[in-house]
Amino acid sequence: MRILFVHPNYRSGGAEIAGNWPPAWVAYLTGSLREAGFDDIHFVDAMTNDLSDEEVAARIEAIRPDAIGVTAITPSIYKAEEILKIAEEKAPQAVRILGGIHATFMYKQVLSEAPWVDVIVRGEGEEIVTELMLAIEDGRWPDDRYKIKGLAFRDGEQIVATEAAPTVKNLEGIKPDWSILEWEKYIYIPLNTRVAIPNMARGCPFTCSFCSQWKFWRDYRVREPKAVVDEIEDLVENHGVGFFILADEEPTINRKKFVEFCQELIDRDLPRRVQWGINTRVTDIYRDRELLSFYREAGLVHVSLGTEAAAQMKLDQFNKETKVEENKQAIKLLRDADIFVEAQFIVGLDNETEETLEETYRMAWDWQPDLANWAMYTPWPFTPLFQELKDQVEIYDFSKYNFVTPIMKPAAMERGELLNGVMKNYRRFYMQKALFHYPWRGTGYRRRYLLGCLKAFLKAGFARTFYDLGKAGYWGPQSKDKVDFHFDETRQIAEAQMEDWEAAADRAARAKERREAVRAQMKDRAEVRRESFKMPNGAEVKACGGGTEQMEDA
């Protein structure tokens, strides 16, 4: 049986300006399939190779797969659907499979707008895809589709979702096949070296309102540090990787495991050959302030902090559980440990103004991170914050849900003005860094790394790919009123998906009513018990100190 995976060619001028990122998903799926006995597996990276639809069509036609799988985050969903539409024509015998976070939660939307998709894999793919491929190979597809957990598909006019599959419990049993990737093409521009994105843990115990990762992975699981370092050592020795970024939402959650991971890297002398970066929370950095120099010794050189907002009001709205003053202190702690720190700011909510954008700039400059990034708030349609703000959402063109396009229009600003304010922040921050900081401060390695980051920004700026400025027609403040984001306003939420949202909202409302009713009932019962309670000796019930009233709360 011949299997083909395709990574969609989608670019937005966001994270990809730092280099070409290896699509780790295909390595993890391929590894699981090889363990199950599948050996005729092919991969086309349309994004890294910048392939046109015609070139992808030619590849599909030449390979003639029995099954073709594509993944998609929200902004790449239309590209993924197009690939499977091409497959319908060029390989009509192939089962067309779509996975990823968007299809997992928006399967009714996807199957409504792209009925040529045969099946959607919902959730973690390794075990579900393997079971699905075995059914296809054995000729049990589509007869057994109702028996396989974690799928969604059309049965006539009906959209069906089977029971959710359990999360992968044995992460050590997953052996990614990194050899399927073209490693010479995955380069991290700041260090001009090959880059990998391995996985140490899955899930996140926090529930930030703008994030969906905790919903996708469902529970938090961490791998054994030795096994993770085995994988990294293989990437370094056999694939020439010189830099990696842990794919985890927050790899420092389990401090014991993270410390073991760092020690294992040191014991194998890997920091001399490979450096690495992570995303994490401000609170973890503050917690681990005595360990930061040890982390640096283990090769950790870059930390991206989810500072998210300059104003505490925004932090509270995002359910970040951090304070503004903690952000500043965490950045200083990292810089003191000679770890590059990148501060992330989310802008573009309803209450954004020129003054609040200016506030984020002033605070970024006061905090002095090595790098700063202003990301447009993107209302993922499967997050709690979207449910709160959905009445304000006007754009359902998911190809623009990419952190660089202002989906939301602030009440006091036009979208072009918002983009202009963000670009003003970038210009001021990096111009001052380039002139007065990067070339003159720190060790030779620090200068080389930061100048490499500056090179990535400048390269994307001159090519007009940064923040998709070329496509939007932004050339500076003089063009802010003429910016065109080319929203496809014909895109709307499918009726089936809307009904699903409304049902979910009804369930949430009923659950809230039940919780409130139970609390009220328990309060009434407690009052009854208090009034009917008598001391064994018949004495009057007294509060602490002998009075009849409890102390009032301060």
Pairwise pLDDT comparison (147 vs 173), residue with the higher score: 147
The residue-averaged pLDDT of 402-429 equals 95
157: pLDDT strictly greater than 50:
yes
**Tens of pLDDT, residues 6-30:** 999 999 988 889 999 999 999 999 9
- Nearby residues of 39 by Cβ (< 8 Å), 6 or more positions away: none
C-alpha distances in Å from residue 385, one per residue of 207, 381, 388, 393, 399: 11, 9, 5, 11, 19
Together in a domain, 113 and 156: yes
Together in a domain, 285 and 418: yes
| pLDDT band per the 50, 70, 90 thresholds, residue 167 | confident
Together in a domain, 20 and 88: yes
Which one of 112, 129, 161 terminates a domain? 161
As a whole number of Å, the end-to-end CA separation of the chain is 71
| DSSP assignment string, 371-440 | EEEEEE----TTSHHHHHHGGG-----GGG-SSSS--S--TTS-HHHHHHHHHHHHHHHHHHHHHHTTTT
| DSSP assignment string, 531-553 | HH---TT-PPP--GGG-SSPPPP
| pLDDT band per the 50, 70, 90 thresholds, residue 521 | confident
Q: What angle do CA 197, 201, 206 make, to 5 degrees?
A: 115
509: pLDDT strictly greater than 90:
no
Together in a domain, 413 and 527: no
CA-based radius of gyration for the chain: 26
Residue reference for tokens 């300059």: 310
505: pLDDT strictly greater than 70:
no
**Tens of pLDDT, residues 62-73:** 999 999 999 999
Domain of 59 in residue numbering reads as 3-161
- What are the start-end ranges of the E strands in 290-392? 300-308, 340-347, 371-376
Look up residue 257 and give its amino acid: K
319: pLDDT strictly greater than 70:
no
Q: What span, in angstroms and rounded, lies between the C-alpha atoms of 221 and 174?
A: 13
Whether residue 476 is contained in a domain is answered as no
Query: What is the pLDDT at residue 527?
Result: 66
Look up residue 495 and give its amino acid: E
Whether residue 29 is contained in a domain is answered as yes
Whether residue 534 is contained in a domain is answered as yes
Whether residue 406 is contained in a domain is answered as yes
Whether residue 234 is contained in a domain is answered as yes
Together in a domain, 363 and 508: no
Which one of 433, 468, 503 terminates a domain? 468
Q: What span, in angstroms and rounded, lies between the C-alpha atoms of 359 and 353?
A: 10
Together in a domain, 355 and 386: yes
Torsion angle defined by CA atoms of residues 181, 82, 98 and 130, in that order, rounded to the nearest 10 degrees: -50
134: domain CATH number is 3.40.50.280
Whether residue 407 is contained in a domain is answered as yes
243: domain CATH number is 3.80.30.20
Whether residue 64 is contained in a domain is answered as yes
Query: What is the pLDDT at residue 313?
Result: 45
Nearest to 165 by CA among 193, 191, 132, 187: 132
213: pLDDT strictly greater than 70:
no
Together in a domain, 147 and 291: no
Q: Are 232 and 198 in contact (CB under 8 A)?
A: yes
What's the total number of domains in the chain? 3
**Tens of pLDDT, residues 272-307:** 999 999 999 888 998 999 999 999 999 999 999 976
Cα 272 to chain centroid distance, Å, stands at 29
| pLDDT band per the 50, 70, 90 thresholds, residue 536 | very low
Model confidence, pTM:
0.87
Q: What span, in angstroms and rounded, lies between the C-alpha atoms of 272 and 296?
A: 12
Together in a domain, 324 and 253: yes
Sign, CA torsion 181/301/172/70:
negative
Together in a domain, 452 and 503: no
Nearest to 121 by CA among 147, 93, 153, 146: 153
- What are the start-end ranges of the E strands in 61-125? 67-71, 95-99, 119-121
Nearest to 201 by CA among 189, 219, 188: 219
Residue 186 tokens, joined: 């995955």
Which one of 111, 127, 161 terminates a domain? 161
Bridge partner list, 276: 244, 300
Together in a domain, 443 and 511: no
Q: What span, in angstroms and rounded, lies between the C-alpha atoms of 200 and 250?
A: 10
Q: What span, in angstroms and rounded, lies between the C-alpha atoms of 272 and 412?
A: 51
Whether residue 473 is contained in a domain is answered as no
Together in a domain, 302 and 444: yes
Together in a domain, 196 and 239: yes
Pairwise pLDDT comparison (167 vs 130), residue with the higher score: 130
